[in-house]
Structure 1
C-alpha cells in the first residue's frame, strides 16, 4: 500500500517573496525538479510553481526582464492540489481523477499535519500505479501458483488415501459378495446385504471426494462414447426402485422425448449425476413419491438432454438454494441423516464440465426439485444397439492364473474368485516376483495390481512385454483402485490388456477376463 509521502520527495520550497530570477536559477540548476512549492513562514503551502509553465512564461519576449525581480507570488498557481501524505496513491487517484483530473499536469503538494512535506507529480503517480499494478499482477500470479500447488497437493493426498482406503474396502466388499453367493443360510442374507450397502455408501463418498478434487484442479476427465439416451433412466430406476419400496415410497420414472436417440456423452458421469439426485430424493423423503423424468429436445446436429427429479420430502429452505451445490453445504435435514455434503457439488462440477446447467427449487407438493440440462452431439442410431448380456461363467477352458498383489486380503479375494470361475491360481507379492513367475510360461492370464513394493505393476508389465516368445503375449489385467479413464488409457499404453477397478465385482472381473482372452485368441 503506497502512500503519497512515499512518492513525493521533499524539494526545498520557496517563500512568496522569492523573485522570478531566483526561481529561474533554481530550475536551471535543478534539471530534475518539476515543481516548487511556495510556503508561508509556518511552512503552510500557499502556491505551486510548475517548471514548464514557468519557463515558457519567462522565455516569452520581455518575460525575464519583466519578471526577474518581481516576487514569485505573482507567478505561482494559487490553488494547487494539496493532499495529506497519509492518503494512499490509489485513494488519491480515485479522488483527483473524479474532481480535478487536469490539475495533475501541474503537480500537487503533499502535507503532513498541514505543513509542507513534499511535491508530487503526474509522472510519480504513473510510476507508482504502474509498480503497484506490476506488484499486484505478480502477487496474483504467486497466489494462483500457490493455489494450483495446493490443489495438486490435495489431489495427490486424496489419490494416496483413495488407494489406501480402497485396498481394505476391496476386501470387505469382495468377501461380502462371495459370502452372498456361497452362503446357504437365509438368515445371513440381510447381514451380508448390509455389509454391501454400507460399503457401497463408503465407496460413493470416496469417489465424490476424488471427483471434487479433480474438478477443482481442472482434472475431471470426460470419457465420451455413443450412448442411448433413454437407457440412463432405466439404469437409475433399476438401482433405486427397490430401495424406495423398502421405505414405502413410490418411484415413478418417465422418459419424455423421441425414442432411439443416441448421443456422444460420458454415460458414467451422467448416471452418476442422475443417481446422486435420485438417491438424495429417496434418502430425504419419508412418505409419498419420488418423480424422475428424463427427456431430450432435438436441435439439428445436437440434442439438449434434460433430467428432473422431484420429491415430496421436506424441501430446501429458500435461503439455502444459492449454496446447496457448494461442497460441505447441507440442510439441517441433511446433517441429521448424515453424509458429507459432496454429492451435489460433484453433480454441479460434472454438469458444468459438460457445458450444462443444474439448479434446485421447490416442487409443487412442497418438496425439492432438481433439474439439469446438457448439450450433446447427436449420433445416428447404431444398427445393433442391444448390449450383450454379462457372462455368467468363463467362456474359455479352465485357466491357470497368476495373481500379483502386495495385499494379503486382495490375494485371497482374487484367488477365491478364480476358484469360483473354475480356474487355478498362484500368488506373488510384488512386480519383480510377477516377472520371474511369468517367465516360466505356466500362466494363461495375469491379474496385476498396479501399486506394489520392489517393482510396481506398470514396470512389471513392461518387462514381461519386452521378453521374446509367447510369454511376452500373456494377457494382463490391471486390478487397481486408480482406474479413471486417464489411468486406464495409460495402463493400456504400457501393455496391459484391460483394467478392472477395485473394489472388484465378480461379474466385472469375469467379463474382463472373457474379453481379453477372446482378443488374445483372435490375435
Structure 2
C-alpha cells in the first residue's frame, strides 16, 4: 500500500517573498525538480510553482525582465491540491478524479500534521500507479499459477486415489459378479445384488470426483464421434425405467426430435448428464412420475440438442436454485437421501465444456432440469456390415497371459478367463510378462499398467519391438486409470484395447473378442 509520503520527495520550499530570479536559478540548478512549494514562516503551504508553467512565463518576451525581481506570491498557483501524506495513492487518485480531475496533470503539496512535507507530481503518481498495477498483475499471475498448480496437484492426488481405490474395488465388484453368475442359492442373490449396487454407487462417486477435478483443471476431455441423436436416450430409458417401476413411479422417456439426425458429439458424456439428471429424479421422487425428453433442431448445418427431465418430487427451494450446480451443495432432501452433491456439478461442467447451458426450475413441488448443447451436424454414415456379436464368438482353446501385481486382480482375471473357456497363466510384473510372452505360448495378454520392476507400457513396447510372431500377440490393458487420455496413450504404445477396472465380465469378453477379431483380420 503506497502512501503519498512515499512518492513525494522533500524539495526545499521557498517563502512568498522569494523572487522570480531565485526560482529561475533553482530550476536551472535542479533539473529534476518539477515543482517548488511556497510556505509561510510556520511551513504551512501557501502555493505551488510548477516548473513548466514558470519557465514558459519567464521565456516569454519581457518575461524575465518583468518577473525576475517580483515576489513569487505573484507567480505561484494559489489553489494547489493539498493532501495529507498518510493518504494512499489509490485513495488520493480516486478523490481527485471525483472532485478535480484536471489536477491530476499538475503538481500537489503533501503535508504532515498540516505542515509542508513534500511535493508530488503527475509523473510520480503515474509511476506509483503503474508500479502498483504491475505488482497487482504479478500478484494475480502468481495467485493464478498457484491456483492452477493446486488444482493440478488435486487432480494428480485424485488420479492416484482413483487408481488405489479402483484396485480393491475391482476385486469386490468382479468377485460379486462372478458369485452372481455361479451361485445357485436364491438366498444369496439379494446379498450379492446389494454388494454390486453399493459398489456401483461408490464407483459413480469416484468417477464424479475425478471428473470434477479434471474440469476444474481444464482437463475434462471430450471423445467426440458420430452419433445418432435419437439413440442418446436409450441408456437412460433402459437403466432407470425398472428403478422407477420398483418405486411405483410412472416413467416415460421419449425422443421429440427429427429422425435420422447425426451429430459429432461425446455420446458417453451426454449420456452421463442424462443419467445423472434422471437418477436424481428417480431417487428424490417418492410418488407420481418422472418424464424424460430429448429433442433437437437442425439449423444451418448445426444441431441444437436439448434434454429435459421433470419429476413430481419435493422440488428445490427458491433460495437453493442459484447454487444447485455448485459442488457439495445439496437441498435438505438431498442430505437426507445421502450422496456427495457432485452429480449436478459434473453435469454443469460437461455441458459448459460443450459450450452449452443447463438450468433448474421448481415451482412448489416438482423440479425441471433442462440442458442444451450445440453440435455439428453430420451426414448419416453408410450402413456398415453387422458386427459379430461379442457373446456369440467363442474364446475356447485360448491361452491367456495375465500380468498384474495385485493377487486379487490376478484371481479375478483368471476366474473370468475360466468362465470364458480359456486357460491362463499369471505373472506379477512387466519384466516377467516379457519373458513369458517370448515363449510364444499365448494367444492374448491381459496387461496391468502400473506394476513394479517394469510397468505394462514398457513391457508392451518390448514385446512389440521383437522381430518374430510374438510381437503381434494382442494385448489388452486392464487398468484403474480411467482417464481417456491415458487410454489413448496406451494404444499409441502398442496395446490393442483398454478395459477399465473394475472389470465387468461382458466388457472384458467383448474387448477380448474385438482384439482377437482384428488380429485374425490383419
Please give the secondary structure, in 2, of the residue aligned with 1:281: helix
SS at match of 1:322: helix
> What is the 5 A alignment of 1:361-510?
361-362=361-362, 366-384=365-383, 390-392=389-391, 394-510=393-509
Equivalences for residues 16-415 of structure 1 within 5 A:
16-362=16-362, 366-384=365-383, 390-392=389-391, 394-415=393-414
SS for the counterpart of 2:323 is: coil
Matching residue of 2:3: 3
Separation in 2, partners of 1:87, 1:425: 81
Distance 2:265 2:504 in 1: 25
Query: How far did 1:388 drift?
Result: 5.1
Shift of 1:393: 5.3
Aligned residues: 522
Contact 2:479 2:500 in 1 (8 A): yes
Shift of 1:486: 1.4
Residues 32-78 of structure 1, C-alpha deviation per residue, up to 9 Å, x if partnerless? 11100111122111100011111222223333233222221111110
Q: After the TM superposition, which of the residue ranges 174-183 and 26-35 deviates more from structure 2? A: 26-35
Q: 1:425 Cα shift?
A: 0.4
Instruction: From the superposition, tell whether residues 321 and 268 of structure 1 become closer, same or farther in structure 2 (CA, over 3 Å).
Output: same
Summarize deviations over 1:145-177 as a string: whole Å, max 9, x none.
111111111111001000000000001010011
Instruction: Tell me the SS of whatever aligns to 2:9.
Output: coil
Partners of 2:395 and 2:420 within 8 A in 1: no
Please give the root-mean-square deviation of Cα atoms over the aligned residues, in Å: 1.5
Q: Deviations over 1:81-134 (max 9, x none)?
A: 111112221222222233323223330011112211110011111111111111
- Structure 1 length-normalised TM: 0.97
TM-score of the two chains, using structure 2 as the length reference? 0.97
CA contact (8 A) 1:479 1:502 kept: yes
CA distance in 2 between counterparts of 1:274 and 1:390 reads 27
Distance in 1, matches of 2:385 and 2:300, equals 25
Aligned residues of 1:7 and 1:128 also touching (Cα < 8 A): yes
Q: Structure 1 397/416 Cα, relative in aligned 2: closer, same or farther at 3 Å? A: closer
Does the 8 Å contact 1:394/1:510 carry over to 2? no
Distance change in 2, residues 1:106/1:262 (3 Å): closer
1-structure distance, mates of 2:386, 2:272? 20
- Distance in 2, Cα, partners of 1:450 & 1:258: 44
Name the SS of the counterpart of 2:518 in structure 1.
helix
Quote the Cα distance in structure 2 between the aligned partners of 1:378 and 1:21: 83
Q: Distance in 1 between matches of 2:203 and 2:519?
A: 33
The CA distance in 2 between the partners of 1:361 and 1:99, in whole Å, is: 47
For the Cα contact (< 8 Å) 2:396–2:420, is it kept in 1?
A: no
CA separation in 2, counterparts of 1:514 and 1:59?
A: 97
Structure 1 stretches of at least 4 aligned residues deviating more than 4 Å after TM superposition: 385-390
Q: Unaligned 5+ residue runs, structure 1?
A: none
SS at match of 1:490: helix
